[in-house]
Amino acid sequence: MKNIIIGTAGHVDHGKTALIRALTGIETDRIKEEKKRGITIELGFAYLDLPNGEKAGIIDVPGHEKFVKNMLAGAGGIDLALLVVAADEGFMPQTREHLGILSLLNIPEGLIVVTKKDMVDEDWLEVVCEDIREEVKGTFLESAPILTVSSYTGEGIEDLRQAIFALIDQSSQIKNPNTPFRIPVDRVFSIEGFGTVITGTLIEGQMSVGDPVTIYPKGLQTKIRNLQVHSHDVTTAYAGQRVAVNLAGLKKTDLEKGDVVAQSDSMHTTMMLDVKLSILKNCNRDIFNGTRLHLYHGARDILCKCILMDREVVSAGDEAYAQLRLEEEIAAKTGDRFILRFYSPVETIGGGVILDSNPMKHKRNDPAVLAALNIKDTGSEKEKIEEALKEYSSRYETTAFLKTHTNIDSELFDSIVQVLLEQGQVFPINSNVVIHKAFLQSMEQRAEKLLTRYHEENPLRAGMKRDEFRSKLFPDQDIAVADKVTDYMVKDGVLTTPQGAVALASFAVQFSADQEKLMAQLEKVFLDGGYAVPSLDEVAAQFSKEKAFKQVLESMITAGKLIKLTDQILYHVDVYQQALKLAMDYVAEHGQITLGETRDLLGSSRKYTLALLEYWDRKNITKKVGEARTFTGKL
C-alpha cells in the first residue's frame, strides 16, 4: 500500500486553496481570519480519492512570506509537490523560496500547476510557462510536466487529477512499516469529551490504538486512545498518512506545535546536530562561522548557532559540514532533512541533511572530525556503523542506542555487526554492548602507560592490584565491563594477571642479590612459623633495613608466596594450602567444620584459626551454617 502526501507550494494568492477545493471538493481554509483575508495562515488538510479506493493526503501550505514557518511545519512529510504559479503573475519571490525549500527537503517528485488560466490569453500563458521552465532548471522539477488549469471554470482540473494519479502509480516510494513510528506535531487542540488531540503526518512506521508513546523532547509518557485518518476512525495508521491522534491523560498545554509523538525509547533528544549544509544558489547572504540562525526541523522552529567545521564562511551554492548548536532540545534522527533561515531579517538561506543526531562537541579544522563526517555523509552502512562504534565505544553504549543513533534498519545493523565480529573489528562486552578494536587498542596504550609507571615505582611487586587497576583505567564502569576488557588485553598478549594482580606481559620482577637473600630469609621464617607464625611486627623487628623489608614482603604477597590473612598474620602459601586441604578433607568426611574442630585439626590457637576461617569467609571459600562452616566450591 502506497500512502502518499501531496503538498502545495507557491506564492500567496496564487490559488493553492482553490485548486485543492477544485480537485477534492474540500475547503482547507478553516479559521475565520483565513476566510476573511483570503489567504492560508495555518496548514489546511484534505484528501484526494484515488482510483484504487485509497486516499492521498493533501497539505495546503501558506504562501505569504510571514507564514513560511507554517509552510515548513507541513513540508517535512510531503512525498509529491504541486508547485503552484498563477498565470497572471508568474514566478514570484515566495515561489522561488518554496521551490528552494522543497529541493532542500529532498522532495522526490512533483508537478507544476499554472492556475488562473481563465484570466490570461494563450500567448501570455505560453510566456509564463516558458519562464517557469527556465526558473526550475537544475531542480527536481526541471523535467516535471506543466499543467494549466482554472479552479474557477474547472478547465484542466481532470487532466491534473489524472496526472497526479499517474505520478502516484509510477512512484517507487515504499515506506518501511517496521520502523518505529514518529509524528511531528503541527496542530494541538482539545475536543470536549475526548481530550487532547494532535495532528501531523505519520512519517515513519505504523501506530495503533493502545500503543504507548513518548512526547519528545519533553519525555511525557502516554498512550493512543483513538486514531483518525481523513476524519475516519481507524485502529492502525501507516507511514505516509495524515493522522489525528487522541492522547490519553494529557492536557492541551502539555504539548505544543513542534513536539514529536513517537514510539517509546525510539529517539534521543539533543542540543547539537552534525549536518551537511547546502546554501541556496540564489541566497544573497554569506553565512559566517558562529552565525545565529533559525532551524526548522519537522514542525519545530528553534534558534541555533552554526559552527562551520572547515571554513570561515559559506556563500550561495556552497556545501559544507557544520555543527548546529541549539538553544533548545529537539528530537531528531540521522538522515532527517532541515531548513535554515537567517536570524533577522528572516529569510530562507539553505538547509541540508542531519549526519549525526546526537554528536559530541567537535573541534574545528580537525582532520579526524572531518574524516568522520565524510563517512557519515558518503560512507556505506558498514562504514557508518563502524564509525559510530569508534565514537561511542568509550561510553560502552548499547547496540539499541547505536541503532537509534545511526537510524539504520535493526536487522541490517545486526547483520553488519555480526560481520564485524567475525572479522575481529569489534569485541563483545555482553549481549547488548560491542566495542571497536580501535578503542581497545587505545585502552591497551593507556594500560601500558599506567603499568609502565607503576612497575618503575614498584619494581618488586608482581603487578597492580586489580581493584586499583579498574579504578584508574575504568572509572565509573561496571566491574564486569572492566574485567571483560582486561581479559581481552590479557588474551591479546599485552597484560598478565599474576595472583589476581595486573601487570604488563613484558614485566618480570628482578631481585638484587641482597633482595634474593632477604626473600629466602623471610620465606624460612613463615615456613618455620607454620600455623602459629610470628606477627608481622615481630617478623619486621628481626630485620634492620625497613624499606628493603617492606619492598620484598609486598613482592612476596603480590606474587602469592605469602597469604595475608590479617594485617598482622601472614601464612606461607605452602602452609596455607596444607591447611586448606586438611579442612576440605575433614568437611568431605563430616559435612562441616567448626572453629574448634579446625583449631584441633591444625594444632593451632584460636587466634590463628579464626583469622584463617574469616579469610576464607571473605573470599567466599566457606560459608557459615550456624556455628559451623562448609565449603562453597570456590577457591
Cell of 282: 540564489
Looking at 53-62, 389-398, 609-618, which range is the least confident one? 53-62
pLDDT of residue 56: 83
pLDDT of residue 32: 44
Residue closest to 50 by CA, chosen among 113, 5, 108, 115: 5
Tell me the mean pLDDT in the region 415-419. 95
Tell me the mean pLDDT in the region 592-614. 94
Residue closest to 296 by CA, chosen among 262, 269, 336: 336
Cell of 183: 509524528
pLDDT of residue 38: 37
Half-sphere exposure of 261 (CA within 13 A, CB side): 33
Q: By percentage, how much of the chain surpasses pLDDT 70?
A: 94
Say what the pTM is: 0.78
Query: Which secondary-structure segment (H or E) carries 590?
Result: helix 573-590
488 and 364 inside one domain: no
3-state secondary structure of 427: strand
Cell of 207: 501506530
432 and 490 inside one domain: yes
What are the pLDDT digits (tens) for 240-262?
888 889 999 899 999 998 899 99
The long-range contacts involving 354-358, CB below 8 angstroms and separated by at least 24 positions, are: 354/273, 354/274, 354/275, 354/297, 355/274, 355/275, 355/276, 355/321, 356/273, 356/274, 356/405, 357/268, 357/270, 357/273, 357/332, 357/333, 357/405, 357/407, 358/268, 358/270, 358/272, 358/405
Omega of the bond leading into 359 within 30 degrees of 0 (cis) = no
208 and 298 inside one domain: no
Spatial contact of 27 and 21, defined as CB atoms under 8 Å apart: yes
| Domain membership flag for residue 175 | no
Tell me the mean pLDDT in the region 5-20. 84
The total of structural domains in the chain comes to 5
Omega of the bond leading into 459 within 30 degrees of 0 (cis) = no
pLDDT of residue 416: 96
Between CA 131 and CA 125 the distance in angstroms is: 10
User: The CATH number of the domain where 215 resides is what?
Assistant: 2.40.30.10
Location of C-alpha cell 562537541 = 361
253 and 285 inside one domain: no
What are the pLDDT digits (tens) for 286-307?
999 999 999 989 888 899 999 9
| Domain membership flag for residue 373 | no
| Domain membership flag for residue 360 | yes
| Domain membership flag for residue 374 | no
Between CA 167 and CA 600 the distance in angstroms is: 96
414 and 333 inside one domain: no
Burial class (CB in 10 A: 0-12, 13-18, 19+), 141: buried
Between CA 291 and CA 285 the distance in angstroms is: 11
Q: How far is CA 15 from CA 38, 266, 276, 381, 447, in A?
A: 10, 40, 35, 44, 70
| Domain membership flag for residue 176 | no
Cell of 634: 570456590
In single-letter form, the type of residue at position 342 comes to: F
Residue closest to 531 by CA, chosen among 586, 434, 602: 602
What are the pLDDT digits (tens) for 345-360?
878 899 999 999 999 9
Half-sphere exposure of 63 (CA within 13 A, CB side): 28
What are the pLDDT digits (tens) for 220-238?
999 999 998 877 889 999 8
Range of the structural domain that residue 540 is part of? 513-631
pLDDT of residue 64: 39
What are the pLDDT digits (tens) for 34-82?
344 333 334 567 778 888 888 888 877 654 344 445 445 445 567 888 9
Spatial contact of 332 and 359, defined as CB atoms under 8 Å apart: no
Angle at 142 between CA 139 and CA 144, to 5 degrees: 125
462 and 417 inside one domain: yes
401 and 485 inside one domain: yes
Is 176's pLDDT higher than 80? no
Mean pLDDT of the chain: 88
450 and 506 inside one domain: yes
Half-sphere exposure of 552 (CA within 13 A, CB side): 21
Looking at 9-18, 79-88, 571-580, which range is the least confident one? 9-18
Is 448's pLDDT higher than 80? yes
pLDDT of residue 62: 52
Q: By percentage, how much of the chain surpasses pLDDT 90?
A: 61
| Domain membership flag for residue 177 | no
The long-range contacts involving 386-392, CB below 8 angstroms and separated by at least 24 positions, are: 386/420, 386/425, 386/436, 389/420, 389/426, 389/434, 389/435, 389/436, 389/439, 390/436, 390/438, 390/439, 391/360
User: The CATH number of the domain where 152 resides is what?
Assistant: 3.40.50.300
276 and 258 inside one domain: no
pLDDT of residue 66: 45
| Domain membership flag for residue 86 | yes
pLDDT of residue 554: 83
User: The CATH number of the domain where 444 resides is what?
Assistant: 1.10.10.10
205 and 300 inside one domain: no
484 and 527 inside one domain: no
Helix axes 381-392, 410-422, angle to 10 degrees: 70
Location of C-alpha cell 584463617 = 612
Tell me the mean pLDDT in the region 112-134. 93
DSSP string, 30-87: -SHHHHHHTS--S-EEEEEE-TTS-EEEEEE---SGGGHHHHHHHHTT-SEEEEEEET
pLDDT of residue 189: 87
58 and 94 inside one domain: yes
| Domain membership flag for residue 253 | yes
pLDDT band at 545 (very low <50, low <70, confident <90, very high): confident
Between CA 527 and CA 534 the distance in angstroms is: 11
